[in-house]
Structure 1
């Protein structure tokens, strides 16, 4: 089978690998669609402390497909079922799991390898975080359940109430999904970001105010955001979805006294952030971090997709053949597009029209 393998930062290779065979409790899916992710891009650029401690390893984690083989003891699905597969499952036994903080699980099982024709799904994920899809469900939409689950978690943790003003810093894929979910909560949403395509999508996903912050200093961004809030007092909630120390600091400056700051975007692991202590203390701000998702949030996200409350496929800039996985990452490095759908050869016929509209690729390759 063809699979993308991560060897080192900026070194992902498409290789022929053996088709995996399932053990007890495991399944193998034939991948129908995988989608690119900001975490994939950051990992490609600089590595990842959790995902790739020892290389090479399979790359990508947003995925859906058809069950190709089941191991002994599997009862939740059968060969031929269409499924959406989460990229993790908690242990349900550790200190944090016993307190229902599943995203903090001390033995969180993470799954990579979606950029491939086949994917082995571990038993724990099969048992706790795999979902059979109704007939006719878009494989690309189902693959996007994982980022939407992260957004659902982020909005839930932000304690948003109907009528709240929420500012979302960053118009990347997760920022856009945060907009959609916050709007479902009845929030008035201010989105900041850069890039005509992403800002236009922000409006499509329901942002009430979209601010292009290209060329703005942090002080200018702060002023522009506050001008869009009642009496310029600041937002009720700020969600940082960029992942830089500067925007983490900015998030604390754009909320009102008593407001909540969700530090959603992950910064590089060696980052340090400085906050002014006075407004944190005297304005009684709440700061929190939010990481990943849980089986509950994944199930909720899938329901939002199946019920068509969030059209996640709007995030897809182009459909590319699986062989173009590295090209997709290079396009994102060049800030072209939002997300790309990677389609293995066996499912190319389902997306023939979309694949025919693929953009010129950095490698210059013309895939058939």
Structure 2
């Protein structure tokens, strides 16, 4: 069943080639929800997908970090997944992947690893209900897809990245663990890195952020970074390792978080970590990218490596709560200093790729 309204969505039709396509807006069936997209961020994953680096998502829709407004509720939907009443006009954020509750990872309680998580997102927009991604005018929430209402005190610019970057960083810090008095080195001061700094700062950790863009390093301090390390001032790995050693009394970091997506940064993370330290690899998602390393360093340093994909779906609710609790302490409004209309989606992707700003956003 569809409504009489027509919506528009950005479809990936070739490498770095996006086409705007029009489709009838679906009326939500039982358990489903129809949203109007208010704001969608350009995430690093979108840039990789745009360049055809994700085999599963070629020719699919683009965009997953977003905030939407409820247009219609399917039969039986009266609350969000925290039990809060929801109505037409409410702003909500949604977990961008699905959890089938039946596959082996789900049965182990590893909902972030659900093998069917992208079972809907991978379809071309031409396949009904069309609006599975957020670079669009509308978004269709499937039955069982987690979503949470946004409180009035949290604005669109702050909450748009909650369902990817912030929720994942909360999950990473809990899964890998960094606490009061420990040192976290964050490789990369994009959206993920800035969120991580804010989360670790609340946990009482000392935060060191590494990046090459001066504006990002300045922004990192506003998000709780105690120290920053510039790739310009410390251009070689050995220089950066020496600087972190200096800042940690010769020990190295208790935890290193890689969110750059640069394969060489993983090898550098091993050097930055202390003996017995921890590494969380989050940014490197390209299954074809390779790097040369000496495995014996891992053994000799007894470094614990954690690859972390997505997050448990209820962490999105924790992300919204974090923004309501801590949003006034950090410049979340500065996470994106540039917005684009939907018909300039290619320009938005190019700006996101350039790393000129932490996040660019599309406002349909």
Correspondence 1:102-141 to 2 at 5 A: 102-109=111-118, 111=121, 112-125=132-145, 129-135=146-152, 137-141=154-158
**Which residue number in structure 2 is paired with residue 219 of structure 1?**
238
Correspondence 1:139-158 to 2 at 5 A: 139-146=156-163, 147-158=165-176
Correspondence 1:182-193 to 2 at 5 A: 182-193=200-211
- Contact 2:29 2:74 (8 Å CA) reproduced: yes
Q: Report how far residue 81 of structure 1 moved.
A: 2.2
Match of 2:228 among 199, 203, 210: 210
SS in 2 for 1:189: strand
- Could you say if the C-alpha distance between residues 295 and 224 of structure 1 is closer, same or farther in structure 2, counting changes exceeding 3 Å? same
* Runs ≥4 residues deviating over 6 A: none
In structure 1, what is the Cα distance between the partners aligned to 2:22 and 2:295?
A: 54
- Could you say if the C-alpha distance between residues 313 and 49 of structure 1 is closer, same or farther in structure 2, counting changes exceeding 3 Å? farther
Correspondence 1:135-284 to 2 at 5 A: 135=152, 137-146=154-163, 147-214=165-232, 216-230=235-249, 232-284=250-302
In structure 1, what is the Cα distance between the partners aligned to 2:354 and 2:257?
A: 25
Greater length-normalized contact order (CA 8 Å, ≥ 6 residues apart): 2
SS in 1 for 2:314: helix
Q: Report how far residue 267 of structure 1 moved.
A: 4.1
- Could you say if the C-alpha distance between residues 137 and 221 of structure 1 is closer, same or farther in structure 2, counting changes exceeding 3 Å? closer
- Could you say if the C-alpha distance between residues 308 and 235 of structure 1 is closer, same or farther in structure 2, counting changes exceeding 3 Å? closer
- Could you say if the C-alpha distance between residues 144 and 333 of structure 1 is closer, same or farther in structure 2, counting changes exceeding 3 Å? closer
In structure 2, what is the Cα distance between the partners aligned to 1:191 and 1:142?
A: 23
**Which residue number in structure 2 is paired with residue 350 of structure 1?**
none
In structure 1, what is the Cα distance between the partners aligned to 2:170 and 2:151?
A: 22
Q: Report how far residue 314 of structure 1 moved.
A: 2.3
Further displaced range: 174-183 or 262-271 = 262-271
User: Is it true that 1:290 corresponds to 2:308 in the alignment?
Assistant: yes
SS in 2 for 1:68: strand
- Contact 2:263 2:290 (8 Å CA) reproduced: yes
SS in 2 for 1:17: strand
In structure 2, what is the Cα distance between the partners aligned to 1:236 and 1:105?
A: 30
TM-score, L = length of structure 1: 0.86
Q: Report how far residue 210 of structure 1 moved.
A: 0.4
Equivalences, count? 337
Q: Report how far residue 311 of structure 1 moved.
A: 4.8
Q: Report how far residue 69 of structure 1 moved.
A: 1.6
- Contact 2:254 2:273 (8 Å CA) reproduced: yes
In structure 2, what is the Cα distance between the partners aligned to 1:183 and 1:199?
A: 16
**Which residue number in structure 2 is paired with residue 87 of structure 1?**
96
Match of 2:105 among 93, 96, 101: 96
- Could you say if the C-alpha distance between residues 334 and 135 of structure 1 is closer, same or farther in structure 2, counting changes exceeding 3 Å? closer
Match of 1:22 among 20, 28, 39: 28
Q: Report how far residue 89 of structure 1 moved.
A: 2.8
Structure 1 gaps of 5+ residues are 345-368
- Could you say if the C-alpha distance between residues 136 and 184 of structure 1 is closer, same or farther in structure 2, counting changes exceeding 3 Å? closer
Q: Report how far residue 322 of structure 1 moved.
A: 2.5
In structure 2, what is the Cα distance between the partners aligned to 1:51 and 1:185?
A: 36
